[in-house]
A and B are shown apart, each in its own frame.
Chain A
Amino acid sequence: MTGLTGTGSLVRLALRRDRVMLSVWILIFVVMAAGSASATVGLYDTAESRAQAAASINNTPSLVALYGLIYDESSAGALSMIKLGAFGGALVAVLAILLVIRHTRAEEEAGRLELVGSAVVGRHAPLAAALVVTVAANVLLGLLTALGLIGSGLSASGSFAFGLAWASIGVAFAAVAAVAAQITSGARAAIGMAMAFLGAVYVLRAIGDTAGDRGAGWLRWLSPIGWGQQVRPYQGNRWWVLLLPATFFVVLGATAHVLLARRDHGAGLLPDRPGPATAGRSLGGALGLAWRLQRGLLVGWLVAFVLLGLVFGNIATNVGSFMESPGARELIQKLGGVQGLTDAFMSTELGMMGVILSVYGIQVVLRLRSEESELRAEPVLATGVGRTSWAWSHTVIALLGTTAIIVAAGLAAGLSYAAQTGHSNDFGRVFVAAAVRLPAVWVLTGIAVAAFGFAPRAAAAGWVALVAFLLLGEFGPLFELPQSVMNVSPYAHVPRLPGAAFTATPLLWLAALAAALTAAGLVGFRRRDVAIT
């Protein structure tokens, strides 16, 4: 097939462009898996205690819906990885989707594939290259994850099964994204379509798992996430299940290539519907434009966080029943009884939500940089719109957007928690515990703004900071780093609510720091060149 000419050089190009981003992503996954494994292995040291915890998970429908079932209740690996099998697999799928779209539809939309598509590179090469890169990245992710899990003390065969199950989910969604990229003509729409598919198959496996072996249990076999779980790592390792995602990949990958051959360059299979011929009232200034560009993302995050809040609020009260082992009981005592345990769980989950929410804030701010480097800022800045108000327009959406998301998630978590306990004052406790995450999130947003203002070519510093703080938080205690080092992370200063005492001082400091970083970034941007490169 001459249509594949140049695939090799496109693969090399993609690897060069993405080497940093991919390494960081893969590292995050490996750390997440290994960290979760080593934490759990230490906590449940007897088969009895594990069986206890596994049984209570299997008997809690909301947990089964969120994470799935444990098939071998004595397996340390199964219990350790229950939270990450499906949930982490979905995150792997997100990475695969973004990676494929980035190198296919997004490039085409930016007009760069037209250059590529001319002589030296075949029509099918960009898609083939994107798939090669994504599959390779996922296999690498799977293998490194397996090594990390083995290092945390889990069995080797089970660890490879787990790593490959994750990789298989990524591979399957690479093919889904490849098809979506042919159907729509916009990168964002293609991402949306593939994400919607991901959401749908996650729900399918949730229904299948909660239905057990009765009735709708077969639904989990319709879901690439379900296939990943049905490999059953550490519980018999059914390697043959991996054939399902492999076949799925081949069929969908081939379909994407067939669709590609049938459509015009730059167009999708779905026609673009014509839009309004005139601009609505709101589209008249920097803020109106920024809102128009950012609102879809905000809605997606709001929905996801409300769901997360509902689930966490709902399962928190069950946590006590997982912990019947002597070691765990000791831990419960240390934390101040079952109430203390529930609070600690809630606090950990809300802390995690705060870290994840920082991703949104950074993402929104970095839109400034892509608008600038893709030359869309220039015509706007050549009108009456000033530099500061342009930069502020996206920044304020990041600040208020993170606020809205955490408020919504806090409301959802508070309501579902209070509904479980029946104490109305629990609502307020949980809501405040969610809200205190905000200043630290703003600090990360502020770092992104400052990087954009002073070092536009290093605007990704926000991501670097996020990963660094995450690693500090995860591994600082493990390596017994001095507190002064761990205090570099803004998340270290957030009061551990609910449970701990509420102190306003660190929150005010964080907010002040965020304000200073943001203001500095805005000033920096006013004084520098608008840079294309």
Chain B
Amino acid sequence: MSSQPMTAIAVSGLVKSFGRTRALDGLDLAVNTGEVHGFLGPNGSGKTTTIRILLGLLRADAGEARLLGGDPWREPTELHKRLAYVPGDVTLWPNLTGGEVIDMLGRMRGGLNRPRRNELLERFDLDPRKKGRAYSKGNKQKVGLVAALASDVELLILDEPTSGLDPLMEEVFQQCIQEERRRGRTVLLSSHILAEVEALCDRVTIIRLGRAVETGTLTQMRHLTRTSIAADLAGEPNGLSTLSGVHDLHVEGTRVRFEVDTDRLDAVLRQLTSVGVRSLVSQPPTLEELFLRHYQDDLGPSQAQAAVSS
């Protein structure tokens, strides 16, 4: 890992259509070396498609994708030896045991860390002697995870890796990713589990309809959302409704309830204290609200339609 570029993944203006479906529509994505990067978006927004382009399995129609400093379509095999991939739906060969699959994929990648493999089997409580068809959904997923985590690679590409894992195993997974981060590995993690994203990710990118709609740290993104405020004031509220960034204002005598864009909080609080505050409850946005807003609201249905057909 000597001469690593600063960005492990650099995607710009990526376009991919399947027939008339435009799965990616000018996607930008940058993942810095050494970070755990969350990759979020509603179903069908293009996460898996992006990952498959990054793996050189699909060819982009337009735009550029760079991975570990190389072109994943032109030189896939060299790049693949430096990364490990877990699909959201691990399918195994019915006649091969989990242990065989783990070893085989490891060797195909150019080697696997045997003590670490055994340790991971222990931690994930996985029996490597079962045949592929005999594993449950969650256990299949664990086979994929162990195969990926047991290799000494620079980059992990995980596409909803924990679908089907029970809460205990979800915990083990999170510990493992934290350890990977400490080892300096880069992780691209596509996920619908917000708690997982909150616990693990340094930065996140949210995509919708094949386009990145937001990227940054969670703290930065919180600033882009609304905080709800309920306050009892010393007198009649004045001028609150004219302040920019205030939404859904309800006034009942001296009581007010409203939502405020988090980056306007300061100005609004000043306004309140100028009247005098007797009590105040402020609720920061939950992660769910944060994402739901991005998943749903910045494009109206008609605009969304236009974006698809354009």
Q: Interface of A with B (CB < 8 Å)?
A: 109, 185-188, 266-267, 272, 274-280, 283-286, 288-289, 292-293, 374-376, 378-387, 527-530
> Which residues in B have their C-beta under 8 angstroms from that of A286?
108
> Which residues in A have their C-beta under 8 angstroms from that of B101?
279
Chain A residue with the shortest CB-CB distance to B121: A277
When the two chains form the complex, which single residue of B52, B108, B127, B130 contacts A284, counting CB atoms closer than 8 Å? B108
Complex A-B, nearest 3 residue pairs according to Cβ-Cβ distance, in ascending order: A279-B103, A383-B108, A284-B107
Q: Assess the A530–B57 pair: CB atoms within 8 A.
A: yes
- 26 A-B Cβ contacts within 8 A? A186-B95, A274-B97, A275-B99, A275-B129, A275-B130, A276-B99, A278-B99, A278-B128, A279-B99, A279-B104, A283-B103, A288-B104, A292-B96, A293-B93, A375-B87, A375-B89, A376-B93, A378-B87, A379-B144, A381-B56, A382-B85, A383-B80, A383-B109, A385-B108, A386-B77, A527-B59
> Which residues in A have their C-beta under 8 angstroms from that of B93?
293, 376
> Which residues in B have their C-beta under 8 angstroms from that of A293?
93, 95
Q: Assess the A380–B108 pair: CB atoms within 8 A.
A: yes
Q: Assess the A283–B133 pair: CB atoms within 8 A.
A: no
> Which residues in B have their C-beta under 8 angstroms from that of A279?
99-104, 107
Interface centre among B56, B78, B147 (most CB of A within 10 A): B56
Chain A residue with the shortest CB-CB distance to B136: A266
Is there a chain A Cβ closer than 8 Å to B90's Cβ?
A: yes
What distance in Å separates the Cβ of A431 from its nearest Cβ neighbour in chain B?
35
What distance in Å separates the Cβ of A72 from its nearest Cβ neighbour in chain B?
49
Q: Assess the A188–B129 pair: CB atoms within 8 A.
A: no
Query: Told that A284-B107, A384-B78 touch, could you supply 6 new A-B pairs with CB distance under 8 A?
Result: A187-B94, A275-B96, A279-B102, A292-B95, A375-B89, A382-B157
What distance in Å separates the Cβ of B22 from its nearest Cβ neighbour in chain A?
15
Cα distance, A153 to B131, chains bound together (Å):
54
Q: Assess the A276–B108 pair: CB atoms within 8 A.
A: no
When the two chains form the complex, which single residue of A276, A284, A376 contacts B91, counting CB atoms closer than 8 Å? A376
Count of CB-CB pairs between chains A and B under 8 Å = 122
Q: Assess the A379–B87 pair: CB atoms within 8 A.
A: yes
Is there a chain A Cβ closer than 8 Å to B249's Cβ?
A: no
What distance in Å separates the Cβ of B128 from its nearest Cβ neighbour in chain A?
4
Which residues, 133 to 177 on B, are CB-close (under 8 Å) to A? 133-134, 144, 147, 157
> Which residues in A have their C-beta under 8 angstroms from that of B103?
278-279, 283-284
Chain A residue with the shortest CB-CB distance to B114: A278
When the two chains form the complex, which single residue of A186, A280, A382 contacts B57, counting CB atoms closer than 8 Å? A382
Q: Assess the A275–B131 pair: CB atoms within 8 A.
A: yes
Q: Assess the A186–B94 pair: CB atoms within 8 A.
A: yes
Which residues, 11 to 39 on B, are CB-close (under 8 Å) to A? none
Known contacts being A272-B131, A279-B107, A529-B59, is A384 close to B77, with CB within 8 Å? yes
When the two chains form the complex, which single residue of B57, B80, B87 contacts A384, counting CB atoms closer than 8 Å? B80
> Which residues in A have their C-beta under 8 angstroms from that of B134?
185, 267, 272
Cα distance, A528 to B127, chains bound together (Å):
37
Known contacts being A272-B134, A276-B99, A278-B99, is A284 close to B77, with CB within 8 Å? no
Cα distance, A272 to B127, chains bound together (Å):
13
Chain A residue with the shortest CB-CB distance to B108: A383
Q: Assess the B129–A530 pair: CB atoms within 8 A.
A: no
Cα distance, A278 to B92, chains bound together (Å):
15
Is there a chain A Cβ closer than 8 Å to B187's Cβ?
A: no
Is there a chain A Cβ closer than 8 Å to B276's Cβ?
A: no
Cα distance, A423 to B52, chains bound together (Å):
63
Cα distance, A288 to B254, chains bound together (Å):
77
Q: Assess the B105–A275 pair: CB atoms within 8 A.
A: no
Q: Assess the B100–A382 pair: CB atoms within 8 A.
A: no
Is there a chain A Cβ closer than 8 Å to B58's Cβ?
A: yes
